[in-house]
Amino acid sequence: MASKKDAASYRAARVIGHAGQEAAANLKDIQIPSEVSWESLKVLKDSLSSASRTIRSLRDSATRELSGFYLLDQRSFGGALDRIARSAERLSGFLDGEGAQLQRARTMTGIVESIATARRELGEKRQESETLVREHEQVQASVKHLASKVDELSAKSDLHEVLEIEKELRKESRAFRSETLAHLRRPLRRLGDLSQRGDFAMGSDERAALSRFVESPYKSFLSNSTGQYVAGILESVKKAVDSGKMGFKPRKTGRVSAQLSQLIGTSLLAEKQGKGRRLVARRRELLRKPDVKEGYEYRKGLLLRIEETRRQETEVQDRIRSVASMSEALDKRLAELLRLAESKTREYVGKDVELERP
């Protein structure tokens, strides 16, 4: 080249130097894949094509600036462009020809492998479902066997009487809470609050009995230690309601007063208490017999085993539903894969095939 003072030569040198650096950078950007696959070859082909277009553009832009120095352009760019273009063309031809066939084979292989996996998983789920069904049948048989033993044990005369007494006591307890104390649960709690704050005078024993009565009405009502205070507690409720300390609205006050009128000064409470205490005493008397006590405890253990077995039954049922749901999903997945295999075969080979469904 001429000296730096030769403006045209210096400018041409700068243009060719800059274009060469950019072309070299584009060549370095081409990444050669470490593994050969359809996707990596497509990426390499696109990189080669992009580099070829970029370098060609650099050449064209540099040519306009190299008036009188066009030989530099031909020698610097021609060989590299030809090699890059030929590589891109060979890759493109392969991908459109043999490579496309290989990719189709790879696609079909992947579908077939997915079908085999789905069939295997579906078989495992069906086997698991059969195992769970057998387990469920065994649990049901166990529940049935335990229930029959409970029924057989409960049929014995003395134990049967104990169970009937407990049934009657539960019935009386529900009636006591829902009928006898229909409108008094809240007033009883309010009376306890008033006595705790000192707004209503009550003895310590009566206040303690009231606390237990609020927590467990029927049991406290029958108790010898707290049952004697029930009538006095109801009298205290009536006094508190009449004094207005309860703070109830007239409608609520009327209901409470009517309920108290049915209980205070009548024999209703005494009759209920006497009946309940007789039942409790008879139950206690029967359970003093060793054979009755032993049968009662054994029956209680059987009931606990039945409860545990029923929990196991519920767990098995949940697992059966879960496995059925997964099997249904696998069925759908397998059906989709089979349809895909049939459609791809029709597309690639031009023949209609029908694959066997499970």
Is 80 exceeded by the pLDDT of residue 105? no
Higher-pLDDT residue of 225, 68: 225
CA angle 275, 159, 178 (to 5 degrees): 35
Mean per-residue pLDDT over the chain, rounded: 83
Higher-pLDDT residue of 11, 139: 139
CA nearest neighbour of 348 among 106, 7, 53: 106
CA nearest neighbour of 124 among 351, 334, 330, 350: 330
Q: What band does 319 get if pLDDT is binned at 50, 70 and 90? A: very high
Is 50 exceeded by the pLDDT of residue 17? yes
CA nearest neighbour of 276 among 221, 212, 231: 221
Distance separating alpha carbons of residues 342 and 3, to the nearest angstrom: 74
The one-character DSSP state at 229 is: G
State whether residue 182 is helix, strand or coil.
coil
In-domain check, residue 37? yes
Distance separating alpha carbons of residues 220 and 325, to the nearest angstrom: 52
Is 70 exceeded by the pLDDT of residue 321? yes
Domain count, the chain: 1
In-domain check, residue 67? yes
**Residue 246 neighbours by CB under 8 Å, 6+ apart:** 187, 190, 191, 194, 240, 253, 256
Distance separating alpha carbons of residues 145 and 142, to the nearest angstrom: 5
Domain range for 80 = 7-96
Q: What band does 73 get if pLDDT is binned at 50, 70 and 90? A: very low
pLDDT digits (tens, 9 = 90+) for 166-183: 999 999 999 999 888 888
Is 60 exceeded by the pLDDT of residue 99? no
pLDDT digits (tens, 9 = 90+) for 230-270: 889 999 888 888 888 888 888 888 888 888 888 888 888 89
SS3 of 331-347: the string is: HHHHHHHHHHHHHHHHH
pLDDT digits (tens, 9 = 90+) for 142-155: 999 999 999 998 88
- CB-hemisphere CA count at 13 Å for 17? 7
Percent of the chain with pLDDT over 70: 85
Distance separating alpha carbons of residues 206 and 235, to the nearest angstrom: 12
In-domain check, residue 353? no
In-domain check, residue 240? no
Ranking 99-103, 182-186, 340-344 by mean pLDDT, the lowest is 99-103
Which residue in the block uniquely carries the two structure tokens 């077995």? 309
In-domain check, residue 313? no
Residue 26 is predicted with a pLDDT of: 76
Please, what's the b/e burial string for 87-120 (b: 16 or more CB within 10 A of its CB; e: otherwise)? bbeebbeebeeebeeebeeebbeebeebbeebee
DSSP string computed for 119-139 = HHHHHHHHHHHHHHHHHHHHH
Mean pLDDT of 186-202: 86
**Residue 293 neighbours by CB under 8 Å, 6+ apart:** 287
Is 90 exceeded by the pLDDT of residue 297? yes
In-domain check, residue 30? yes
In-domain check, residue 227? no
In-domain check, residue 260? no
Which residue in the block uniquely carries the two structure tokens 């086997």? 127
Is 90 exceeded by the pLDDT of residue 76? no
Residue 3 is predicted with a pLDDT of: 56
CA nearest neighbour of 167 among 180, 154, 148: 154
